[in-house]
């Protein structure tokens, strides 16, 4: 009985400090980025991509806004359901299995590559976490990660 009460308390705390919406995105940026070449190299179809100078670029596609850089993004947003950030990151890393050398080569050529986890919370306290296994996977792919945390129902700006 005590255990189930503790479990219930844990789950209540998890709900209170967890995100209301989460997504993980693998991002590549470079002024000279040609999306088709990266798609061919990585053998993955990006969620979205654009060239430098392209109008109405990105998720928002606002007319009159020109892309300052080329980009190639793979996001869990259209594939994964639920708000377990680790599952979103895991899915992303599954897609990148065996691509460590390609990522390293692109980084050496000046491409900016990272993983960003969009984390939208409706509370004033929230708790993004990473397991050792997930950190090992990210580290071996030489991928920095950052959590783009929005607290207390603030407006999220799509990256």
Q: Are 153 and 122 in contact (CB under 8 A)?
A: yes
According to DSSP, the β-strands at 48-50 and 70-75 are antiparallel
For other proteins, the closer CB: 35 or 92: 92
Q: CA 19, CA 26: separation in Å to the nearest integer? A: 19
The answer to the question of residue 147 lying near other proteins (CB under 8 A) is yes
The answer to the question of residue 68 lying near other proteins (CB under 8 A) is no
For other proteins, the closer CB: 67 or 117: 117
Minimum separation from the CB atom of position 86 to other proteins (A): 10
For other proteins, the closer CB: 98 or 132: 132
Q: Are 80 and 110 in contact (CB under 8 A)?
A: no
Q: What is the DSSP letter of 3?
A: H
Q: CA 55, CA 15: separation in Å to the nearest integer? A: 40
- Kindly identify the residues of this chain, within the stretch 118-137, that bind other proteins according to CB under 8 A: 124-133, 135-136
Minimum separation from the CB atom of position 45 to other proteins (A): 25
Cα-based distances in Å from 114 to 28, 103, 126, 155 = 7, 10, 22, 23
**Could you count the other beta carbons within 10 Å of the beta carbon of residue 39?**
14
**3-class DSSP state of 115:** strand
Minimum separation from the CB atom of position 42 to other proteins (A): 18
The answer to the question of residue 79 lying near other proteins (CB under 8 A) is no
The answer to the question of residue 154 lying near other proteins (CB under 8 A) is yes
Among 7, 65, 139, 158, binds other proteins (CB under 8 A): 139
The answer to the question of residue 151 lying near other proteins (CB under 8 A) is yes
Q: Which pair of structure tokens corresponds to residue 112?
A: 């900016």
Minimum separation from the CB atom of position 120 to other proteins (A): 10
Q: What does the binding site for other proteins look like in residue numbers (CB under 8 A)?
A: 124-133, 135-136, 138-152, 154, 157
């Amino acid at each position: 009985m005590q255990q189930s009460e503790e479990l219930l308390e844990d789950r209540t705390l998890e709900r209170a400090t967890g995100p209301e919406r989460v997504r993980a995105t693998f991002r590549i940026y470079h002024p000279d980025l040609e999306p088709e070449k990266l798609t061919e190299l990585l053998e993955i179809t990006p969620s979205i991509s654009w060239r430098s100078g392209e109008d109405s670029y990105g998720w928002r596609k606002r007319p009159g806004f020109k892309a300052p850089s080329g980009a190639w993004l793979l996001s869990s947003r259209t594939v994964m359901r639920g708000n377990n950030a680790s599952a979103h990151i895991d899915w992303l890393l599954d897609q990148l299995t065996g691509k460590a050398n390609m990522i390293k080569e692109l980084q050496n050529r000046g491409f900016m590559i990272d993983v960003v986890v969009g984390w939208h919370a409706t509370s004033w306290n929230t708790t993004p976490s990473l397991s050792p296994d997930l950190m090992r996977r990210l580290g071996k792919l030489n991928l920095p990660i950052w959590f783009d945390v929005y607290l207390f129902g603030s407006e999220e700006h799509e990256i």
